[in-house]
Amino acid sequence: MVLVKTVITYGTFDLFHIGHLNILRRLRGLGDRLVVGVSTDEFNAVKGKRPVVPFNQRIDIVSSIKFVDEAFPECTWEQKRADFERFGASIFGMGDDWNGKFNHFSDKVEVVYLTRTDGISTTELKRVLSAFDERHVDELKRTLDSIGQIVKELS
């Protein structure tokens, strides 16, 4: 009988970027099989997050990654123990921004925290995009004000 070492992880995977890909690649390298719980939009609302990309697209993206053997919906915090059993997971891996938060699962699985990719995060991408949008809105307002002044002068 051949034992398969299954690694499990969870995430929102919004605005999929190289940091996501790197952590999935590294997690897959820890075992023979990688299963990934993708947080649903409803669960993200509970966590206080509002993803830009809808759940059905996020899980499709994650499912399409060659390092991922299976993706499934993450609907609650409490489902993890049942997922470990269901998938036969022996390793539970997360980014080191969660360091220590899942150690209570070490009675069931080996818990590992991997370093994140420097210089990239979904939070930072959203911040940059938000600033980009605000800047352009202000630029548009100034342009409209200028056009308004020209119209007044021509009237």
Instruction: Give the burial string for 15-24 (b: 16+ CB within 10 Å, else e).
Output: bbeebbebbb
DSSP state of 77: G
Active-site residues, by number, are: 47, 49
DSSP result, 93-129? EEEGGGTTTTGGGTTTSEEEEEPPPTT--HHHHHHHH
Alpha-helical segments (H) within the chain: 18-28, 41-46, 55-64, 80-87, 122-154
